[in-house]
Structure 1
Amino acid sequence: MNGFLSSFQTRGSREGFVHEVAAVCVLTGKILLQNGAETFRVEDTMNRIAKSYAVHDAQSFVTPTGIIFSIEDHDVTQLVRINQRGTNLRKVTQVNTLSRRVALGEVSIKELHRLLRQIDHSEVAYSNSLQILAAAIASSCFLLMFLGQLQDLLPAFLAGGAGQAGMIYFHKLAKVKFFSEFMSSIIIGLIALFSVKLGIGLEMNKIIIGAVMPLVPGVPITNAVRDIMSGDLVAGLSKSAEAGLTAFAIGIGVTSAIMLG
């Protein structure tokens, strides 16, 4: 009888540990997917963490809007829905560094869970004012890269900063990415248009091109190509459609601003 109880307790302890491993792997995938990691990286990191804790029969399936993680021999399956996605490569780097420590056996499962929650709940790496300033400076640099005139530096600086500020504000106002990108493009187009009309700027097209570059979905496009090349066709095509929708919103917003002006 004592042997049966000991065996039951050992089996129950193992099942609890497996469930904890599954919860940690899903949380890892959630953080990576929400912050701009490609699908292959998400699946590979989840599987490597499971193997590091001696769970060798784990399977993961990741799409841009959801994660399914299963451990076959223990009848464990977890599903998480991804509603919001962005780009925060700092969190991606932190999770990658943590997964390497797990592979080396330096982090216990409970410590890993605590550190992942800390990363997940951490604030944005950069303040709104710094993001606006960075977008403004980047817009001016893009203007020069596209052979714009020096006189257009100030309009591009103002349009890029205002566009980023609009993106932040409208995203808080309505959690619809298309809407915030559309409104930000209108702001950029109007600033470029009126700067030329007032004689502050010279080439409206170059000002607009430089200012909208911080809005261009470079990371989603890169990840879409990477996913398609690695065989993740569902994720790759989904991200391609999302990037195309962003480009469409930018184009419609700029066109609307020109027509309003």
Structure 2
Amino acid sequence: MNIDVSIANVCMLAGKIMLESGAETYRVEDTMNRIAVSYGLSNAQSYATPTGIIFSVDRVEKTNFVRISKRSTDLHKIAEVNSISRKLTGDELVLSEALLLLEELNLAKVSYVGWIQIVSAALIAGCFTIMFGGEWADFIPSLVAGGAGYAAMLWFERFVEIRFIAEFFASFVIGLLAILFIQNGSGVGMDKIIIGAVMPLVPGLHITNAVRDLMAGHLVAGLSKGVEALLTAFAIGAGVAVVIAFI
């Protein structure tokens, strides 16, 4: 296989995994460029957006493109790609070995199973309620509402690929359960229960990445991620607002 083709394959696959796992676009481009430079391609060109990657081994060579259609948050995969890229640049791996490792990582399901995510979201929701000034009587209602809301989001995503609708549905469930708990005397502060329960849905990583991309000069990526985070926040707020308005 042509050495330039091998480098392009490694760079594109590394960038694809990182973007799909929620990495910042400037980090994706930096990783791809470092791999290319370590193999003597000083003029390698890479351009990443939240929905696609463009890469060329030189200014006048053919351009490689891959579209990113699904994105999630998987910091473990990002760390694994960083580890592979460091080994490549440190001559601890050859291109063929790196490509094999990246292909295995791309196919791997390293995220936690659904029930662990739901339990974690429930505990996070309860703890946030207490942190935001809620009473201990609000801990269990927030725990249940947060876990149920996150489970509803995971379930709804199986049928509708539009994540904003799934988040709207999840916040609707959270708002409904919070009201039911308060009406049954199982909680004290409805606002604290709702705030804690929606925290697992809040796009904190998207907001952080948007700011970091903007500070790094990646205006297109930063603005698009900022808008995505804004839409997510709107969907969460709208779901709760609909419940409060009609019940």
Q: TM-score, normalised by structure 1?
A: 0.92
Overall identity of the aligned pairs, in %: 50
Secondary structure at the aligned position of 1:76 is classed as coil
Looking at structure 2, the residues matched to 124 and 170 of structure 1 have their Cα atoms a distance apart, in angstroms, of 21
Alignment correspondent of 1:209: 195
Shift in Å at residue 256 of structure 1?
1.0
Task: Give the counterpart of 2:104 among 118, 123, 148.
Answer: 118
Shift in Å at residue 55 of structure 1?
1.9
Looking at structure 1, the residues matched to 162 and 237 of structure 2 have their Cα atoms a distance apart, in angstroms, of 17
Secondary structure at the aligned position of 1:72 is classed as coil
Show structure 1 runs of 5+ residues with no match: 1-12
Alignment correspondent of 1:18: 4
Show structure 2 runs of 5+ residues with no match: none
Of 51-60 and 104-113, deviating more is: 51-60
Shift in Å at residue 73 of structure 1?
5.9
Question: Max radius of gyration: which structure?
Answer: 1
Q: Is the 8 A contact 1:190 1:257 kept in 2?
A: yes
In the alignment, residue 183 of structure 1 is paired with which amino acid? F
Shift in Å at residue 18 of structure 1?
0.4
Per the alignment, do residues 18 and 212 of structure 1 end up closer, same or farther by CA in structure 2, a change over 3 Å counting? same
Shift in Å at residue 257 of structure 1?
1.6
Shift in Å at residue 77 of structure 1?
1.2
Would you say 1:147 and 2:156 are equivalent positions? no
Alignment correspondent of 1:130: 116
Looking at structure 2, the residues matched to 19 and 97 of structure 1 have their Cα atoms a distance apart, in angstroms, of 22
Would you say 1:234 and 2:220 are equivalent positions? yes
Shift in Å at residue 74 of structure 1?
6.4
Looking at structure 2, the residues matched to 71 and 19 of structure 1 have their Cα atoms a distance apart, in angstroms, of 9
Q: Is the 8 A contact 1:136 1:159 kept in 2?
A: yes
Looking at structure 1, the residues matched to 68 and 62 of structure 2 have their Cα atoms a distance apart, in angstroms, of 20
Shift in Å at residue 53 of structure 1?
2.1
Q: Is the 8 A contact 1:189 1:258 kept in 2?
A: yes
In the alignment, residue 196 of structure 2 is paired with which amino acid? G
Length, aligned pairs only:
247
Q: TM-score, normalised by structure 2?
A: 0.98
Shift in Å at residue 19 of structure 1?
1.1
Shift in Å at residue 125 of structure 1?
2.0
In the alignment, residue 250 of structure 1 is paired with which amino acid? I
In the alignment, residue 149 of structure 2 is paired with which amino acid? G
Alignment correspondent of 1:10: none
Looking at structure 2, the residues matched to 225 and 249 of structure 1 have their Cα atoms a distance apart, in angstroms, of 21
**Root-mean-square deviation (Å):** 1.1
